[in-house]
Homo-oligomer: A and B are copies of this chain.
């Protein structure tokens, strides 16, 4: 079960990355954060950070790798949303 169990983690991580990364990359490229919810990204970032730390606790390299990739993109988008809000509130 060991190899298959570990493989499941990679399949899960790659599927999650394939689903969420294209939109994230596009948002980072176009810098268009109109219509994105600040609260959603705050909660999403807390979730991703928790999955990474939980992955450390479970010694799961798959959870650490794939959630870290998501966390980096989500953090960039969160930062862009905050900068955009600041610009519009001035």
Binding site for B on A (CB under 8 A): 1, 5, 8-9, 11-12, 14-16, 18-19, 40, 43-44, 46-48, 50-51, 53-54, 57-58, 60, 62
Pair A1/B44 contact, Cβ less than 8 Å = no
Given contacts A1-B57, A11-B47, 6 further A-B pairs with CB under 8 A are: A8-B54, A12-B50, A15-B44, A18-B47, A19-B44, A58-B60
Contact A57 B5 (CB under 8 A): yes
B9 touches A54 (CB 8 A): yes
Chain B CB within 10 A, most for which of A46, A54, A60: A54
Taking the nearest CB of chain B, how far is it from the CB of A35, in angstroms?
A: 13
